[in-house]
Chain A
Amino acid sequence: MFDLSGKTALVTGASGGIGSAIAKALHDQGAVVGLSGTRVEALEKVAAELGGDRVHVLPANLSDADAPADLVKRADEAMGQLDILVNNAGLTRDNLAMRLKDEDWDTVLAVNLTASFRLSKACLRGMMKRRWGRIIGITSVVGTTGNAGQTNYAASKAGLIGMSKSLAQEVASRGITVNCVAPGFIATAMTDVLSDDIKENLLSSIPCAKLGSPEDIAASVAYLSSNEAAYVTGQTLHVNGGMAMI
């Protein structure tokens, strides 16, 4: 099940907790994996953990407008083609709306949403020709539920869902699926910074009564990447321990 031998995958934000777990899961299923991110050393470390075989390090700063097209080109060159794109790179600049700076809105939208669109667009040509492709956006439960202090982040994640549904309709007939995975609260550096009080509060609202792991997300991405998921498109798979049942 979910065998990805002979497939190639590009994972953005691959040095982070969820991104590296996704890269590992796809690699474990047999895919050649391109690791992208801004921190070269951290990417090299992930590559070393994967064993160096079937792994390419492809640094990119996605806040740069030309970076997505260039990254897809480099991924194509390194891996021969690009079958699976995982738009995982994302950042937060949290603040109450009344205190949120324009640049913090712009930065979050640029990386989380605009770069994801540009990356998706850049890899469509090859996928259409091969009549096979998987584009997976890592969104968030807050894209659906909203979250105080995250107007920018929630908007970017909701945008990713709308974009994916639209793109899914455009390219479904060509064997390309476009889906999202929406993590709830996952134990990563992004959630480590929360205070114990907030964490305790959170756990009381999660029926599974624990934070999720990056591997929980990665398994969903491996599934959506597979041939077995060919009839699933335009969907958002919520992986959140039951904290929001949508």
Chain B
Amino acid sequence: MSNDVADRVKKIVVEHLGVEEAKVVESASFIDDLGADSLDTVELVMAFEEEFGCEIPDDAAEKIVTVQNAVDFISENV
């Protein structure tokens, strides 16, 4: 399950930020490592919400700064 979530999260990140797949590792920070700006992170959260059919509240969204954070939140809440 969590592998599947991780793959889907990575796919969204690759598509949205236009970065190489190899760079989208679990520990990668969207802003520091993948070149996202703050608005990109808002859009990533929107994309996760749609992909996984869930709602990510603002306070949780603020804590999603790495690929792993996103995978963890989604695995725990979907």
Task: Please report A residues at the B interface, Cβ cutoff 8 Å.
Answer: 125, 128-129, 170-171, 173-174
CA distance A17 to B5 in the complex (A): 53
Task: Kindly identify, within residues 19 to 62 of chain B, every residue whose CB is under 8 Å from any CB belonging to chain A.
Answer: 39, 42-43, 46
Task: Please report B residues at the A interface, Cβ cutoff 8 Å.
Answer: 39, 42-43, 46
Cβ distance A138 to chain B, nearest Cβ, rounded Å: 26
The DSSP consensus for interface residues of chain A is helix
B39 touches A174 (CB 8 A): yes
Cβ distance A142 to chain B, nearest Cβ, rounded Å: 33
Cβ distance B53 to chain A, nearest Cβ, rounded Å: 16
Residues of the A chain whose Cβ atoms lie less than 8 Å from the Cβ of B43: 128
A171 touches B39 (CB 8 A): yes
Residues of the A chain whose Cβ atoms lie less than 8 Å from the Cβ of B46: 125, 128-129
Cβ distance A127 to chain B, nearest Cβ, rounded Å: 12
Cβ distance B56 to chain A, nearest Cβ, rounded Å: 13
Cβ distance A124 to chain B, nearest Cβ, rounded Å: 9
CA distance A99 to B39 in the complex (A): 44
B46 (CB) vs chain A CBs: closest residue: A125
Residues of the B chain whose Cβ atoms lie less than 8 Å from the Cβ of A173: 39
Closest 10 CB pairs of A and B: A128-B43, A125-B46, A170-B39, A173-B39, A129-B46, A174-B39, A128-B46, A171-B39, A128-B42, A128-B39
CA distance A8 to B23 in the complex (A): 40
Cβ distance B51 to chain A, nearest Cβ, rounded Å: 13
Cβ distance A73 to chain B, nearest Cβ, rounded Å: 14
Cβ distance A176 to chain B, nearest Cβ, rounded Å: 11
CA distance A174 to B37 in the complex (A): 12
B49 (CB) vs chain A CBs: closest residue: A125
Jot down 10 A-B pairs with beta carbons below 8 A, ordered by A: A125-B46, A128-B39, A128-B42, A128-B43, A128-B46, A129-B46, A170-B39, A171-B39, A173-B39, A174-B39
